[in-house]
Amino acid sequence: MSFLKVEEIRKDFPILEEKIRDRKLVYLDSAASSLKPVQVVEVVKKFELYEYSNIHRGVYTLSQKATQKYEEAREKICKFINANSLEEVIFTYGTTDALNIIAYTYGLKHLQKDDEVLLTIFEHHSNILPWRAVASMKGARIKYVDILDDGRLDYSDFEEKLSEKTKIVSIAQTSNTLGTLVDVKKIAKRVHEVGGVVVIDGAQSVPHLPVDVQDLGIDFLAFSGHKMLGPTGIGVLWVKRDLVDDIPPLRLGGGAIRDVELDRFTLLDPPHRFEAGTPNISGAIGLGAAVEYLMKIGISNVKRHEEELMKYTFKRFEEFGDSIIVYGPKDVSERSGIMLFNVEGMDPNIVGSLLDSYGIAVRSGKHCAHLLYRRLKLDGAVRASYYIYNNVDDVEIFASALEEIIKT
Ligand SMILES: Cc1ncc(COP(=O)(O)O)c(C=O)c1O
């Protein structure tokens, strides 16, 4: 059953017509960055060529229109994640930037000596290193929740490590390696019971499944535009309204300030106080167009479509027996459209290069998650990741190429 009109969708991505090494391009690296549809590129192009000016500054028509477009993008994002108000939606340069902002504002302000920050062993470096830096400045400790052997999060280990000392829990809703889906609602409830706050790294979840910040009951959410059909250099930090006034802006400067006197200054209201300097205006407008595209096809359909592709991939992989080792949960309802694997006895980078000779783009290595690879005692793996433009034909080409690689 098809949840998306993939053949129609593919027409919006002209890059898919390109030949790679004389073969049809099979793009299986959307977890690193997604392809861009014409609808997004055209909106950005139109803005840059015909509607461009700086925002929030001019009284002239062009500037007011540009401001309106930028703010309309914020409205679309607000709706997409079901934020309570526009004040909660802050434009950043991406997930890494958003996570650094939370660590260096909320973290730096609230962490005390001997407090604890809870992460998981599969976090992306962008959700580890900012916390490590801030924790060491404040004398706080980092703890890592482990995984079960099948790659699911170990909720009993989470319970064991959670305590009154836990002030911040920062977790990826979807692991960028194992594909594991985390029960964020359950975690948020428990963290609040001990008086902590919950930060969700939504880099791999917001583009692929419905994320409703109010329903999840979280405090912060970070995600990137370039992984969800939007441009690079734009992302979002969502902060729950009650906490917005509690965090100082990380960056100060033009665009964030109401008034400056010789010995004091007053900030603008949120979210503008967090967006000092000229922001990535066309990036934000492009992200607005990307969100519109995703809302049109239905984000729940994206999730179901990827589940179908994963089911088919697992079925094909079964034929390879022990020649392929798959990591992460076996049940597709517990993982996203990310397939992490190794070919028995082969270096993952060589597998990646061989797949490239078939026109297939996958990512090999350690995927910015060295702690996980240490935990798994692996030097790396190959990651294939699906999105809205991938079809069964892509999976078939991928599986057939692997079959040949294994044979030869
Ligand atoms: C789970 C996760 N967190 C954070 C990031 C960092 O995102 P960005 O490079 O867009 O800042 C990534 C990127 O791959 C990711 O997968």
Tens-place pLDDT, residues 31-45? 999 999 999 999 999
Residue nearest to atom 7 of ligand 1 (CA): 95
**In Å, what is the CA distance from 135 to each residue of 113, 211, 228, 305, 380?**
9, 28, 31, 40, 28
State which ligand 1 atom lies nearest to the alpha carbon of 94: 11
How many angstroms separate the Cα of 234 from the Cα of each of 97, 121, 282, 285? 9, 27, 9, 10
Strand locations in 111-264, DSSP E? 116-120, 141-145, 166-172, 197-201, 220-224, 235-239, 257-260
Q: What percent of the chain has pLDDT over 70?
A: 100
If asked whether residues 215 and 352 sit together in one domain, one would say no
Asked whether residue 1 is domain-assigned, the answer is no
Looking at the fold, whether 118 and 74 belong to one and the same domain comes out as yes
Ligand 1 centroid to residue 95 C-alpha, Å: 6
Q: Does some domain include residue 262?
A: yes
Atom of ligand 1 nearest to the CA of 33: 14
A 10 A CB-CB count for 131 gives 24
pLDDT of residue 393: 97
Which of 296, 325, 349 corresponds to the end of one domain? 296
Report which protein residue has its CA nearest ligand 1's atom 16: 176
CATH assignment of the domain containing 316:
3.90.1150.10
| Averaged pLDDT, 324-329 | 97
In this prediction the pTM is 0.98
Name the residue of 173, 178, 368, 387 to mutate for ligand 1: max ligand atoms within 8 A of Cβ.
Answer: 368
| pLDDT number for residue 57 | 77
Residue with tokens 């999105």: 387
Query: For residue 125, with 0-12 CB atoms within 10 Å meaning exposed, 13-18 middle and 19 or more buried, which class applies?
Result: middle
Q: What pLDDT shows up at residue 219?
A: 98
Q: Which of 296, 312, 347 is the last residue of a domain?
A: 296
pLDDT grade, residue 2 (50/70/90)?
Answer: confident
Nearest ligand 1 atom, CA 98: 11
Name every protein residue with a CB atom under 6 angstroms from any ligand 1 atom: 94-96, 124, 126-127, 172, 176, 201, 203-204, 224
Asked, for residue 175, whether it belongs to a domain, the answer is: yes
Question: Any idea which residue has 């916390």 for tokens?
Answer: 131
Q: Is residue 182 part of a domain?
A: yes
**308 pLDDT more than 70:** yes
Residue 368 annotated to the active site: yes
User: Are 282 and 354 in a shared domain?
Assistant: no
Are 211 and 345 found together in one domain?
A: no
∠ at Cα 66 (42, 295), nearest 5°? 50
The mean per-residue pLDDT over the stretch 173-180 comes to 98
Q: Choose which residue among 95, 208, 220 to substitute to test ligand 1 binding: the one with the highest number of ligand atoms within 8 A of its C-beta.
A: 95
pLDDT at 136: 98
Give the residue from 279, 296, 313 where a domain finishes: 296
**262-295 per-position pLDDT tens digit:** 999 999 999 999 999 999 999 999 999 999 999 9
CA of 339 to the centre of ligand 1 (A): 17
Please check whether residues 25 and 129 belong to one and the same domain: no
Same domain as 104, residue 85: yes
Cα of 174 from ligand 1 centre, angstroms: 11
80 and 133: one domain? Answer: yes
| One domain, residues 251 and 368 | no
Residue 37 lies in a domain: no
CATH code of 146's domain: 3.40.640.10
When pLDDT is cut at 50, 70 and 90, the band that residue 58 belongs to is: confident
Give the residue numbers spanning the domain of 376: 6-32+298-407
> Is the same domain home to 212 and 307?
no
ω before 271 within 30° of 0 (cis)?
Answer: yes
Ligand 1 center from residue 27 Cα (angstroms): 18
| Residue from 368, 371, 399, 405 carrying the catalytic annotation | 368
Residue nearest atom 12 of ligand 1, based on CA coordinates: 203
Residue 314 in 3-state DSSP? helix
Asked if residue 104 belongs to a domain, the reply is yes
pLDDT at residue 1 above 70? no
The stretches of 272-391 forming alpha helices (DSSP H) are 281-297, 299-318, 348-356, 370-376
Domain count, the chain: 2
Q: Report the separation in Å between the CA atom of 245 and the middle of ligand 1, taken as the mean of its atom positions.
A: 26
Which ligand 1 atom lies nearest to the CA of residue 201?
3
The 10s digit of each residue's pLDDT in 353-381 is: 999 999 999 999 999 999 999 999 999 99
Atom of ligand 1 at shortest distance to CA of 174? 1
Ligand 1: centre distance to CA 391 (Å): 24
Question: Are residues 172 and 205 located together in one domain of the fold?
Answer: yes
Confidence of residue 150 (pLDDT cuts 50, 70, 90): very high
Report the pLDDT averaged over residues 118-142.
98
Which of 30, 96, 220 is the pocket-test mutation for ligand 1 (most atoms within 8 Å of CB)?
96
Is there a domain that residue 153 lies in? yes
Structure tokens, 166:
């836990």
**Ligand 1 centroid from CA 396, angstroms:** 28
Tell which one of 119, 124, 363 to mutate to probe ligand 1, the residue whose CB is within 8 A of the most ligand atoms: 124
Helix (H, G, I), strand (E, B) or coil at 10: helix
Shared-domain flag, residues 231 and 358:
no
Over 70: is that where the pLDDT of 314 sits?
yes
163: CA distance to ligand 1 center in Å? 28
Q: Which atom of ligand 1 is nearest to the CA of 97?
A: 11
Residue 188 in domain: yes
Indicate if 235 and 379 belong to the same structural domain: no
